[in-house]
Amino acid sequence: MKAISISRKPGHSGQNTPHLDALSTTYVKSPHMISGWANTWVRIKLHWTQFQILRHCYKNPLDWIGGLHYLLKLRRNILGKHRIRKMVRLNDQYYTDLYIPGWKDSSYNRFVASYLYHFKPHKEKVNRLNQVFLAVTKKCPFQCEHCSAWDTLNLKDVLEAKDFQPILEEVYSLGVSQLYFTGGEPLLKIELLESLISKIPKNVKSWIATSGFPLTSEKALQLKKAGLTGVFISLDHYEAERHNSFRHHDSAYSWALKAAQNALDAQLAVTFSICLSNEMCQEEELLKYMKLAKECGVHFVQFLEPQATGRYRNREVSLSQESIASAEALYLKMNFGKEYLDYPIIHYSGYYHRRVGCFA
């Protein structure tokens, strides 16, 4: 479900585009964002947890100081000197970023211990893998302009349901922080997902990356009950016609927003994943998109940049330098400024990669 785009065709669905004002009455949710003193207090407790992890990992107090310095340096390399002013609180856990397990969960402790291993090896259990993406089907009802799975889309699935659990057992034996089920459209295999998710070890968090393909309230609750942490929902424009046109499906937008609503009701973490385009990178456009995300009540927004792969292979799809500068400026303002404390947290891989390289 990689969302990657650069150009837009004119809308063709004929579907009415909901206005933001109308959406605000229909979709307003409690966004679960914390800031101010609540944020400071949680951060103090979070640092205390990190200190406890350091004590478990190392006997020498000098390593506690060195390890703490290592973690701070790591954060500074990625985020610069910006202060984290907000967090997501969900199901009594606290999230500072989309790809970091929530604090107050055993997966968070394992995640930190795994990073500390790079500072200095220790005997606590660590994860060899940070994130694993597993495509459970090649089938999909969409025909997205940017599809990275285009070469194999809707071909016959090679793996059968029985093949997945043994693969995952190997992944678990290596240790993994977060597991992402993708496709094609993974929700086409809802029974398989439910079965796999119900067998995931407690210290591994799981997500589904979907187009929103009818994620009904029953399915959302079914997946939550099985142990799912959250969903990524692809949404590439704040206007229905533009999103539908890009995805070549008249229901894409309504499915995406309804999926978000149902996932939120089921207490799942929800991320809108947007494929940036030069047009969308203008500040005014991004602000409209972020306003919609906030009004829908989602917790995170993921910015993705177009790549010349899949259906975009051999095409010039990179963002311009001006677009990148604009998207990065908005990312900084929205995540670290005081003005947007109640907006979703943005995860922008391109921003981090340009500074520290690939996390993998």
**Chain residues that interact with ligand SF4, rule: CB under 6 A:** 1, 140, 142-144, 147, 149, 153, 183-185, 211
The 10 Å Cβ neighbour count of residue 30 is 7
Minimum CB separation of residue 208 from ligand SF4 in Å reads 12
The 10 Å Cβ neighbour count of residue 332 is 16
Q: Which is nearer to ligand SF4, 277 or 335 (CB)?
A: 277
Minimum CB separation of residue 175 from ligand SF4 in Å reads 28
Minimum CB separation of residue 258 from ligand SF4 in Å reads 16
Helix (H) or strand (E) holding 329: helix 321-336
Q: Which two tokens stand for residue 259?
A: 């999926």
Q: Which is nearer to ligand SF4, 66 or 310 (CB)?
A: 310
Q: Which is nearer to ligand SF4, 147 or 168 (CB)?
A: 147
Q: How many angstroms separate the Cα of 96 from the Cα of each of 61, 83, 100, 291?
A: 27, 11, 7, 20
Q: Which is nearer to ligand SF4, 104 or 248 (CB)?
A: 248
Q: Which two tokens stand for residue 360?
A: 């993998």
Strands across the sheet with 269-275, in order? 129-135, 176-182, 205-210, 230-234, 269-275, 300-304, 345-348
> For the chain, what is the radius of gyration of the CA atoms?
20
Minimum CB separation of residue 234 from ligand SF4 in Å reads 6
Q: Residue 355: which residues within 8 A CB-CB, separation 6 or more?
A: 77, 78, 80
Q: Which is nearer to ligand SF4, 75 or 248 (CB)?
A: 248
Q: Which is nearer to ligand SF4, 142 or 348 (CB)?
A: 142
Q: Which is nearer to ligand SF4, 246 or 340 (CB)?
A: 246
Minimum CB separation of residue 69 from ligand SF4 in Å reads 42
Q: Residue 335: which residues within 8 A CB-CB, separation 6 or more?
A: 82, 84, 85, 86, 345, 346
Minimum CB separation of residue 35 from ligand SF4 in Å reads 34
Angle subtended by helix axes 36-57 and 61-79, to nearest 10: 130
Residue 18, classed as helix, strand or coil, is coil
Minimum CB separation of residue 106 from ligand SF4 in Å reads 32
What whole-number distance in Å separates Cα of residue 150 and Cα of residue 314? Answer: 13
Minimum CB separation of residue 130 from ligand SF4 in Å reads 23
Residue 13, classed as helix, strand or coil, is coil
Q: Which is nearer to ligand SF4, 88 or 187 (CB)?
A: 187
